[in-house]
Structures are given as C-alpha cells and as structure tokens.
C-alpha cells in the first residue's frame, strides 16, 4: 500500500448522486484505474453544472491539478499522457461522447456523458440547430457517398419494360455471369441504338465475352452510336446511361 492513510469521512457529508449503471457492467469492464478515476472526476464536474448543456473540456481537464495528481500515482509517464490515454479509453467505451471544437483559433474537445438526451443534443449541435456559445464545432469532412450501381432488374424495368418470372431468371443468370460494368454498358449501347429488348443486350454481352472489348470497352468493329442517341436515354437511371 502506498500513500498516506485516509483520515476518515467527516460527520457532515455532501453527497453526490451516482448512477446505478456505474456499478453494473461499466464497473466490471473498466480495467484501467486511470480511466475509472477520470470517469468519476468527470461525473463530479458534470453534476456541479447547471442547465441542459453539461460538458467538460479537454483544456479544463489538463489544467485540473487535483486530477493530474490523482493520475500521477502509479504511472511512470507524465500525468498529461495518462490523462490523454484515459480520455481515449473512455471515448472508445463510449462512457463519454467527444465533440471537437475550436475557440479563438485553438483546438479543444468537449466531453458529454453518454445518455439519450446528450446524444440528441450532439446531433442538434452538429446540425447547427443548437449553439454552444463561443465554441465552434469542428465537423469531420465526409466524402460524398458513391452513387449506387443499379442492378440488372432495375436497368431492365427502367429502360425496357416490366419483368416476367421467366425473364427474371435469365437476367439473374446474366448478372452472375457478367460484371456489373458490362451489364450497364450493354444496356447503354442498346438504348443508344434504340434496341430496347433483352435479346439484343444478351447478344452484346455474348459478343464481348467471345471477341473481347476495345480499349474504351466497345466490342471490336462496332459502329458508333447515332448522333441523336441522347433522346433515348430516359427513365430513372438515364443519368447513369449518359456517362
């Protein structure tokens, strides 16, 4: 045992409510003393706040001498590093929910207790529906999701007509045999020549499989599409067939 002996609690205590959930799976799963100390410390700080928006900032925790002293015992590295590791562990466990912010050109992070109410608040903050004063949320840049490639059934119904059960089975076999790019290109060529029937599309695919395709993907020796082919590009997936 290290450290001084605890002198005991005073007769008149100030009580702090602690959620029952802390004594369930959370207490069982937390295997880091630093993470446990940080979690309890953040809970105390959050309970001392008033209002709907309750959070602690990373800058506040780094400057908290009492917390750093608590994290210094038993660890070889600097307490700031221990704090950083404990914060990362709490966020991975989702005990705390982080929100990266910027204030006066400086980066910081706000940590919210993971609750249904706070999850909703974070959604509102990220959507710009709720302000957190001078703190500006730093939203990650999300790449635009790629357009979903239409399946062979969708291509047929949008560019030829309704499916029959017998034809659906034939289309399914073609989808398994040929790549999605080949199928889409074959539909594009059929539409360009106004040959809107499956027999023509199937013949295109069979020719490509037998003779190969040119540098741009065309079958060797194929004529160029007519100049007015654009007027045949219709339907929901017409924009895909124009590429």
pLDDT tens per residue, range 133-151: 889 998 766 554 555 567 8
Strand partners, 88: none
Q: Residue 7: what pLDDT?
A: 85
pLDDT tens per residue, range 52-92: 899 999 999 999 999 999 898 777 778 999 999 999 999 99
In a domain, 2, yes or no: no
Do 116 and 156 share a structural domain? no
Kindly report whether the global pTM for this prediction surpasses the value 0.75: no
Do 133 and 156 share a structural domain? no
User: Contact 146/229 with Cβ under 8 angstroms?
Assistant: no
pLDDT tens per residue, range 230-242: 443 444 444 444 4
pLDDT tens per residue, range 172-231: 889 889 988 899 999 999 999 998 899 999 999 999 999 887 544 444 444 344 344 444
Do 28 and 132 share a structural domain? yes
Domain count, the chain: 2
Q: Percentage helix, strand, coil, to 5, in the chain?
A: 50, 10, 40
Contacts of 150 (CB under 8 A, 6+ apart): 158, 184, 237, 240
Do 173 and 226 share a structural domain? yes
* Nearest 10 degrees: Cα torsion 59, 65, 71, 74: 150
User: Contact 70/41 with Cβ under 8 angstroms?
Assistant: yes
Residue span of the structural domain in which 190 resides: 152-241
In a domain, 4, yes or no: no
């Amino acid at each position: 045992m290290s450290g001084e002996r605890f002198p005991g609690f005073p007769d008149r205590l100030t009580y702090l409510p602690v959620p029952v959930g802390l004594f369930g799976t959370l207490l069982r799963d937390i295997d880091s003393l630093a993470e446990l100390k940080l979690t309890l410390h953040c809970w105390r700080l959050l309970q001392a706040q008033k209002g709907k928006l309750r959070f602690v900032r990373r800058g506040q925790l780094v400057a908290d001498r009492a917390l750093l002293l608590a994290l210094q015992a038993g660890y070889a590295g600097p307490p700031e590093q221990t704090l950083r590791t404990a914060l990362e562990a709490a966020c991975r466990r989702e005990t705390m929910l982080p929100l990266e912010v910027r204030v006066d050109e400086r980066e910081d992070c706000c940590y919210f207790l993971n609750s249904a109410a706070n999850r909703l608040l974070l959604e509102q903050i990220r959507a710009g529906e709720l302000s957190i004063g001078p703190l500006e949320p730093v939203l990650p840049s999300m790449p635009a999701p790629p357009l979903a490639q239409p399946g062979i059934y969708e291509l047929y119904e949008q560019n030829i007509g309704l499916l029959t059960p017998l034809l659906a089975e034939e289309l399914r076999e073609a989808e398994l045999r040929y790549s999605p790019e080949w199928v889409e290109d074959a539909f594009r060529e059929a539409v360009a020549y106004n040959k809107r029937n499956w027999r023509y599309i199937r013949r295109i695919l069979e020719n490509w499989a037998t003779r190969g395709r040119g540098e741009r993907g065309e079958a060797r020796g194929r004529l160029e599409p007519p100049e007015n082919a654009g007027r045949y590009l219709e339907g929901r997936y017409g924009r895909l067939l124009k590429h």
